[in-house]
Structure formats: C-alpha cells, structure tokens
A = this chain, B = another copy of it.
Amino acid sequence: MATIGAEQIFKEFREHSAAEFFKKNRQMLGYSGAGRSLVTIVHEYTSNSLDAAEEAGILPDIDVCIKKLENGHYTVRVSDNGPGIPKNFVGKALATIFAGTKFHRYMQQRGQQGIGAAGCLLFSQVTTGKPIFIKSSTGKGKCYSCKLGINTALNRPIITEMKESDEDFRGLVIEGEFSEVRYEAGDHGVYEYIRRTALANPHAQIKLLEPEGKEWTFVRSVNKVPDKPPITKPHPAGLDVNDLIEFAHSSISRKISSFLTETFARTTSNKIDEIKAEDPTIDLDKPPKELQWEDAEKLVKVFRKIKWVAPDPASVVPIGADNVTAAIKNILDPEHMSVIGRKPKVFRGGVPFVVEAAVSYGGNSGKRVDEGYSGTILRYANRVPLLFDSGSCAITKAANDVDWKRYGLDLESQPISIFVNVSSVYIPYSGVGKEAVSQEDEIVEEIKLAIMEAARGIQRYVRGKEQISSSMSRYKAIARYVKQLSGDISSLTGKGQASIENNLDNIIKKHFPKLSDDEEEAAEEKPQQT
C-alpha cells in the first residue's frame, strides 16, 4: 500500500463550533432515548426558571405544559414569574452555547455551564426544524416576543419575528416543538422529575399539564425565598497555579500583596506576613501583572501549607432541615423520617460543599415492586433532581457503601426513600449532561456519613416494624422443611416420623422466641458513633 502524505490528509482540516459539536454528540447533553430527551428539556427550562427567581428574590410559580401533536411531535411550554430576560440578551442567553451569567461566577446555582437552553434549541432545530418561541418581560412596558434559531456553524442566535407589546407581564415563557421525544411514566419520566424538583424546592409552586390532559399542582409548602447565594471570593487553599496567574494578570492592584487580600477570601494582612515568613523569596511588592509561573507556584505551595480559616459556609445555601422535613411530609407523607443537615466541608482543597440527607419510611416512600417494596435513592445537586447515570454518581456510590444491615434496613424489600442533596458553588459533574456528581473521595465520604447519620435516626422505628413480619416469614420457611426432613430421617433410621417431627419443631421454636424479647434486645443496643 502506498503511503499518503500529511499534506493530503490535512486538506481535510476544519474547525468546528461548539454548536456543531453538541449537535453531532447530542447524547452527551442528555438527548439519548425519547423519554430521557423530554426530561432533559423540562429539566433545562425549569432549572433556569428556578435559578432566575432565586437570584431575583422571587417566590417562583412555574407552569410546565406538554402537548402531543397529531404528527407525533411534542410541544413543551414553560412559563415563569421570574425576572425575565432583557431583550438585548435573549439571543445570547437562549441560543448560544457557552454563554450566560453563571459560568464564571463563584456563586451557587443550578446551572453553571451556559449550555442548557441552547442545547434544547439545538435539539428542537435538529428534530423539527422549528425555532423556539419566547415571550419575556423584565417589568412593565418591556414585554416582547420573538422566535429563536441557532446558526450552528457560527454558534450564533437567529432572531426573527421580534414584536414588542405593552402587556403587563413579568417573567419568561418559552415554547418549543420537538420530535424524537416521548412522554413516559415511571422513575425516569417528566412527572417524577417535577415531583422530585418540588421535593427539593418547597418554596416553588409547580404545575404540570400532561399530554393526556391530567393536571398536577405541587403546592408551595414554604413561603420564604431561599437565601440568595452570595457571590464569594475564591479561597486560597483551592487555587491552582493557573487560576492564580489569571487572576493576577487581570488585576488592577498595585502590588501582589494587595491583590491577594482584595481577591481572595480569608486573606488578611496577617496572612500576607505569614506568607512572607514562610517563603521570603517571593516578591510580593511587584505588580500582579508581572507574576510569573515560578513565583505563582511558590505562592500556591505556601497557600497549601499554612493554616487558613475554612471557606465561608455562607457561600453554600442548603435547603435546610426544616424545609426538607416540610417537603418530605408534603410529598412522601412517610410514617417516620430522619433528616440530617451536615456542616460545610471542602473538596479539592478549597471548594466548600454541604450535604443534606434524609431517610424516610412508609407512606409514599420507596417504590411498589410486585407485592412488596424496594428502596429508592433521590439524588440532588443544588436542588436539581438527578434521574439518570446513577451508576457513575457519588451519591449512588455512597449509598451502596453504607452497611444497611447495621441499621436493620433493607433497600431491597422496604418502603424506604433516601434523599441526598449536595450544594456547592461548583458541583463537579461527571459529564456535560450533568446527571451525576463525579466520585471525588471527599464528597463520597461526606455523603456516606450523612446517610449513615440519617439511617441511625430511623433504625429503632423500622426495626420494631419489621421484626414481627421478618421472624414470622423466617419461621415459616424453616417449618416448611420439617415435614420432609422428618420423613427422610425416619426412613433412614427406621424411627417413627411423628416423634422426629416433634423434636425438630422444638429445636426451631427455641430459635424464635417471642418478639417482645427481641425488642428488649434492640433497645439495649447502643447507637454507633462515626
């Protein structure tokens, strides 16, 4: 075979836009399978609505309306009472990949990538060729509507039919038409997604109109807007050299020392002295624009060596134990539950995060399976339910690492729901589709501790409940063999079957004393410390 030269191969060289990339690889954004694709659309629009309302300090009312058209296509319409999108930003905000208000800020939000809404548009365009419809207003006299497409080669919005009106409206209405989607019931469907969203966002009122015409309202159970997550300064312990240099080179401070105290959290002038003492070879009097890699590397080394006050936990806003309790009561209506909120921890040296966990038993907890139950894990990141890719998620790993028997719990047969929410300024998702939290050691460990704590809080109750039925069924299973076995032994030994059966019965009963005795045992068992 003759070899082909590089010049010829490189005739085929091209550059592509992010829009072209995700158009081709749409499964990476969550558009794989008709059921999942529909959930992805609802997920992107509702989390944008919740983020916007939270930032603006508004109690969100969100309407999700899904219709099936005669040609098999679906329309999805999401309306909210949020702050709206200014007219001059609408194209960039909803029809450009990698654009938004969230990517670069140190602030806890559901979205963090600037991909979601533009991904939906890409999907509608690829499957139906239709633009999406937008109506928005940021307040009185500012209402407009338009249609949005995306020029995939350039990753640029195409805005058409822009109309202004004086409608008295504030918020955003977004409606798209999609093919290759399907409304499905079950654990991975839109209803379940909305139900779980309501569970973690008790301050939101969410309506869902299903294609068959059924309407559901998830009523607000908490009347307070969650605290607005503050924009925080990065913590020095979490910086890498490259970050530090980029911050330095865009700084207008006069000296590196003042740049450090102004830019980063917990960096007082005392700390500057400590840094100087730790490594006197670093020149902190130079302008930050002149900071080179070598000095930056030294600084990062010192940052990781000296003792810092932990990152301000206020940068992370969990749901709160009271709100979780109210929401679980409202939606799962369990017989018993245990809710745990843990203190902030950090991962990767300096990114703070908070884990909340709850274990509930009975009511609508768990899932009906045939004639019994099985446990379910409700995974959340920044209050957003994660329905897919559970196998690669830190929450699943942590839940599976728990030794459930130790708490008398059994996820394979009991009506149990495990609720976990991870809150952070930066959630390290394992993929662009944001369906799983990457299994970083510190995060898995902290989730496991939270679940164990919640499990301890419920074990007494469940143990009492389950003891009688479990003893009875074990006794029945063993007793079933007594007849057969006594017959066999009788024919093997020539002794009478009746007396053998009686003897065996007595042996078995000795092993199953009355339940009241068992309960006393359980009460004596001390809760275990971690």
- Measuring CB to CB, which residues of chain A are less than 8 angstroms from any residue of chain B? 1-7, 9-10, 12-18, 20-21, 23-25, 27-28, 32, 52, 55-58, 83-86, 89, 92-93, 96, 98-101, 103-105, 113-114, 125-130, 138-139, 225, 228, 240-242, 245, 293, 296-297, 389, 391-392, 428-433, 438, 440, 489, 492-495, 500, 503-504
- Say yes or no: B10 contacts A99, CB within 8 Å: no
Q: CB distance A241 to B129 under 8 Å?
A: yes
Contact between B489 and A9, CB atoms less than 8 A apart: no
Given contacts A6-B86, A14-B103, A15-B96, 17 further A-B contacts (CB under 8 A): A2-B57, A4-B57, A7-B86, A12-B105, A17-B98, A21-B113, A25-B428, A27-B438, A28-B429, A28-B431, A32-B440, A125-B242, A129-B242, A129-B296, A389-B392, A492-B503, A493-B495
Choose one: B4, B24, B392; the contact of A391 (CB below 8 Å): B392
State the CA gap A3–B56 with chains docked (Å).
Answer: 5
Q: Assess whether B99 is in contact with A15, with CB atoms less than 8 Å apart.
A: yes
Q: Tell me how many chains of this kind the complex includes.
A: 2
- 7 pairs from A and B in contact (CB 8 Å cutoff): A3-B83, A4-B57, A9-B56, A13-B100, A18-B21, A27-B438, A128-B241
Of chain B, the residue at the smallest CB distance from A100 is B13
10 smallest beta-carbon distances between A and B, as pairs: A391-B391, A129-B293, A6-B138, A6-B83, A126-B242, A493-B495, A15-B99, A431-B431, A12-B101, A1-B57
A103 and B21 contact, CB distance less than 8 A: yes
Cα separation A35 to B55 with both chains bound (whole Å): 39
Chain B nearest CB, measured from A232 CB (Å): 14
- Once the chains bind, are A10 and B242 in contact (CB under 8 Å)? no
Q: Closest Cβ of chain B: how far from A438's Cβ, in Å?
A: 5
Cα-based distance from A103 to B16 in the complex (angstroms): 8
- Please tell me if the beta carbons of B56 and A5 are within 8 angstroms of each other in the complex: yes
Rounded to whole angstroms, the CA-CA distance of A85 and B8 in the bound complex is: 11
Which residue of B9, B20, B27, B58 is within 8 Å of A430 (Cβ)? Answer: B27
Contacts of A89 in B (CB 8 A): 10, 13
Closest B residue to A391 using CB positions: B391
Q: Is the CB of B1 within 8 A of A228?
A: yes
Contact status of A100 and B14, CB under 8 A, knowing A5-B138, A129-B297, A492-B489 = yes
Distance A24 CA – B18 CA, assembled complex (angstroms): 16
A174 to chain B, nearest CB (A): 15
Residue of B nearest to A492 (CB): B503
A492 touches which one: B5, B428, B500 (CB < 8 A)? B500
Q: How far is the CA of A98 from the CA of B155 in the complex (A)?
A: 13
A7 cross-chain contacts in B, Cβ below 8 A:
86, 138
Asked if A52 meets B9 with Cβ closer than 8 Å, knowing A57-B3, A430-B28, A489-B489, the reply is: yes
Contacts of A297 in B (CB 8 A): 129
Bound-complex Cα distance A422 to B285 (A): 58
A18–B15 CB distance below 8 A? no
A10 touching B85, Cβ below 8 Å = yes
Task: Give the chain B neighbours of A242 by CB distance below 8 A.
Answer: 23, 125-127, 129
- Of B1, B5, B25, B428, which is within 8 A of A429 by CB? B25
Give CA–CA (A170, B161) in the complex, Å.
56
- Considering only CB atoms, which chain B residue lies closest to A12 in the complex? B101
Enumerate chain B residues within 8 angstroms of A5, measured Cβ to Cβ: 56, 83, 138-139
Set of chain B residues within 8 Å of A430, measured between Cβ atoms: 27-28, 32, 431
Bound: A105/B230 CA distance, A: 46
Pick from B1, B101, B431: contact of A13, CB under 8 Å: B101
In the bound complex, how far is the Cα of B182 from the Cα of A456, in angstroms? Answer: 38
Complex contacts, A245 vs chain B, CB 8 Å: 129
* Bound Cα distance A83, B3 (Å): 9
Q: How distant is the Cα of A126 from the Cα of B125 in the complex, in angstroms?
A: 36
Q: Given A9-B55, A13-B93, are A18 and B492 neighbors across the interface (CB < 8 Å)?
A: no
**Inter-subunit contact B428/A431 (CB<8 Å):** no
> Could you say which residues of chain B place their CB within 8 Å of the CB of A139?
5-6
